[in-house]
Each structure stands twice: as C-alpha cells, then as structure tokens.
Amino acid sequence: MTEMSETEGSGETSGIDPIVLPGDSRLGATARLAISIHGVPAVRLGDTDVRFATRHAQLALYLLVIAGPEGIPADQLIATLWQGAVPKRAANSMRTMLWQIRRSLGQESWRLRRSRGMVLFDLDGVQLDFEPGSELRRDQILTGWAFRIPPAIQPLLIVAA
C-alpha cells in the first residue's frame, strides 16, 4: 500500500483544478441564489433571472421555499398542481416538473430532492425576502398566482379578511 502525501488527499494537485461539489464555498459569489415571494415572485442566480420551462415548475419551487426545511409531501404537491389528474399521469408529470426545476437552477439543482414521500428544497445560503417558518400574508405573496394551498404550508399563511 502506498502512502498519500498531504496534498494528494486534499484534492490540491498541481495543474489540475480540484473538484467542486454542490454547497462548496469555492462555487463563488456568482452562484448566489436569491428567491423573492413577496409581490411578484422572482428567482435569481447571481445576476441572472432564472427562467422555468413551465409555470408548474416555478410555482412548485415557490411552494417548497415557503414550506421551508420540512418540505411538502409529494402527494400534496401533486394535488395542488394537477387536481383531479390520473395518479400515474400525475406521478409522471411530477418527475418531469422536478427535472425542469433542476434544469432551471443549473449549479444550484442539488438543492431539490425527494426523500420518503417528501419533496424538499435546501434553503441553506439562499437569500430570501422572508424568514423561513414565519407566517406570511397570502394577499402579499405570489401576486398573480392562483393556486390551492397545500396543507403542509397552510399553517404558515394568514389569509387576509
């Protein structure tokens, strides 16, 4: 067995760029993700507005951000986005939509994941215009978006009288 020098194990080799993994601070400031849900919602990656292939993908991201680290059960997200759809078709639509979100987020796609029936979005280091877990007024967020509120985020929303 050969021994590694200190620089071999660290990923710092001469003439070769080290591998940069998602979440690594070496991604730099241009990878900064900012998501705004107050008023007209927006997603920015560095200095670029993020565009989504579908409104479903964009709305799903906003709902996941509002849900915070707890995420949203996949069945609730499906029911919100594809009311009354045939379950097999809705499951296929969900997979496609998650792919669309990942594709739109590029180097930040690692933030979106599914685990044990939940859809989760990692907010660590994301610049937000609200405090995760805080109550939000429904009439002040996602202006112009009509949607059924998933039960997972209902406790976080205050519906104006």
Say what the pTM is: 0.79
Instruction: For the beta carbon of residue 128, count every other beta carbon within 10 angstroms.
Output: 16
Instruction: For the beta carbon of residue 65, count every other beta carbon within 10 angstroms.
Output: 21
Q: Which pLDDT does position 14 carry in this prediction?
A: 39
Indicate which CATH number applies to the domain containing 122. Answer: 1.10.10.10
Residue 39's domain comprises 30-158
pLDDT in tens, 101-139: 999 999 999 999 999 999 999 999 999 999 988 889 999
Rounded Cα–Cα distance for residues 153 and 118 (Å): 13
Count of structural domains within the chain? 1
Question: Given a cut of 50, is residue 1 above it in pLDDT?
Answer: no
Q: What angle is formed at CA 103 by the lines to CA 133 and CA 52, rounded to 5 degrees?
A: 70
pLDDT in tens, 14-60: 344 333 344 444 444 445 999 999 999 999 999 999 999 999 999 99
Is 129 part of a structural domain of the chain?
Answer: yes
Is 92 part of a structural domain of the chain?
Answer: yes
Is 143 part of a structural domain of the chain?
Answer: yes
